Copies of this chain bind each other. A is one copy, B any other.
Amino acid sequence: MSTDSGFYSIIDYTVDGFDTQRELVAAFTEIQERWVRFYPGYLSARFHASTDGTRVYTIVHWASEADYRNFVETSDGEARMEAIRTALEGLSGRAEARMSGVPTYTVVGEVGPGPQRLGP
């Protein structure tokens, strides 16, 4: 029942305020530019910042699972993780990962605009 053939990774952090939130987005922007955006099938990374300054979701969109797997297998994951650690240590405040399990996703459904469903 997938509504698109895309494959996603979702990177999810709580942060301790607007400054840290802004710094985390800047840091992950640089991570994408230096480590991710040039792999085949990379489509986008979008940064969703909560309006209360407490959370950031980064949604990375790949054309296919095969493209994501190729990125994982051919990129230097250890160096990338080290760059992420360094970026997190450079924040003025605190950021805590909220990922659980395997951080890869497919879109399994979508509800568009429409009339209110009233019956069973």
Contact = CB atoms under 8 A, between A and B. Distances in A.
Interface string A40-62: 00111111111110110101000
Contacts of A43: 112-113
Contacts of A25: 108-109
Contacts of A12: 12
Nearest to A43: B113
A116 interface: yes
Q: Which 4 A-B pairs have the closest CB atoms?
A: A54-B101, A33-B117, A52-B102, A32-B111
Contacts of A44: 110-113
A71 interface: no
Given A14-B100, A110-B45, A111-B37, A105 B30 contact: no
Nearest to A104: B51
A77 B25 CA distance: 32
A29 B59 CA distance: 21
A85 to B, nearest CB: 19
Interface string A85-103: 0000000000000101111
A55 B101 contact: yes
8 contacts: A3-B46, A10-B48, A33-B116, A37-B114, A44-B111, A44-B112, A54-B100, A55-B100
